[in-house]
Amino acid sequence: MAEKWSGDGTYYLPARQIGPYRLWFEFLKKAHTDPDIDVDYEHYKEWGNFYEMEFSDWWSGATWRSLFAVDAGVRVLDDSEQFKNDDQAIVVRLPLGKDPKETIKDVNQLLSQHGAGTNLDTVVQGKFALSPGYEKAFLKYLDRANFMLRLYGMWLSNADHDHKDRVGRTAVEFSKWARARTEMIESRGYNYKKPVAPFSVDAFADEFLRGIDTSTSDERRQFMRYLKKAKNLASNAAIGIFPGKY
């Protein structure tokens, strides 16, 4: 399913795309494997065994509707539904004996009066809502969040090494992956986004491979900033906040 997909016509995602919710899932899943992070599993009980599932399988079915979506369907309510006005919808009576054109005018006026068609920063959120302000920064830089997610995953996979080696090996592993991925996309002419690969990560990886002392390296410091941001995103997800401040 395309990342920009925003709903099925009845339910829609407040973020108008899947990307930020996928990142929430993936950072939470990574937090589950990080011994330094405590996940609030009670908060996430409605997510089921997310840590055992791939995102595409977990997302399918009713999961996205019940957790993140807003009901935006136009339909005739049945007796089992609660007839009340709230932040997501208003209940109106449409006379069947009136000229439909006049009724539509009345409906448009009601929608305008109740602020329908609000901007992204004021739209109602689902049961699990992205943190306030996500659309002003995080939503615009999802590619960088994806970069930090992969970096964090590689950091976790190198847990058997001491701190110095772990940091260096993670940088080298990411640099090699990003280079190979970019070359594959270019050589095959795929219309894929190339991975974000900051110069500082490549430079630090090169320094590490050459055995240079990186204790005061600017490139290493920048690499550690990226890694810290990734850990913050995972820590936020673990307590039910995403993306939060990172």
What is the arithmetic mean of pLDDT over 213-230? 96
Does 79 reside within a domain? no
pTM: 0.82
Does 74 reside within a domain? no
Does 85 reside within a domain? no
Please provide the average confidence, as pLDDT, over all residues in the chain: 87
What is the arithmetic mean of pLDDT over 171-175? 98
What is the percentage of the chain residues whose pLDDT exceeds 90? Answer: 65
pLDDT at 216: 92
| 100 vs 107, higher pLDDT | 100
pLDDT at 120: 44
pLDDT at 90: 66
How would you class 195 by CB atoms within 10 Å of its CB: exposed for 0-12, middle for 13-18, buried for 19 or more?
Answer: middle
Rounded Cα distance, 51 and 59, in Å: 13
Does 99 reside within a domain? no
Cβ atoms within 10 Å, residue 90: 13
| Lowest mean pLDDT, pick from 24-38, 87-101, 127-141 | 87-101
pLDDT at 99 over 90: no
Does 104 reside within a domain? no
pLDDT at 121: 46
What is the arithmetic mean of pLDDT over 13-29? 95
pLDDT band at 7 (very low <50, low <70, confident <90, very high): confident
What is the arithmetic mean of pLDDT over 127-150? 94
> Residues 46, 102: contact at Cβ < 8 Å?
no
- Looking at the structure of the chain, the number of domains it has is 1
Does 83 reside within a domain? no
Does 175 reside within a domain? yes
Q: Which domain holds residue 202?
A: 11-69+125-238
pLDDT band at 131 (very low <50, low <70, confident <90, very high): very high
Does 37 reside within a domain? yes
What is the percentage of the chain residues whose pLDDT exceeds 70? Answer: 83
Q: Which of 18, 67, 30, 10 is CA-nearest to residue 151?
A: 30
pLDDT at 118 over 60: no
What are the distances in angstroms from CA 215 to CA 111, 165, 199, 210, 224? 61, 12, 18, 14, 11
Cβ atoms within 10 Å, residue 105: 11
pLDDT at 184 over 50: yes
Q: Is 24 left (phi over 0), alpha (psi -120 to 50) or beta?
A: alpha
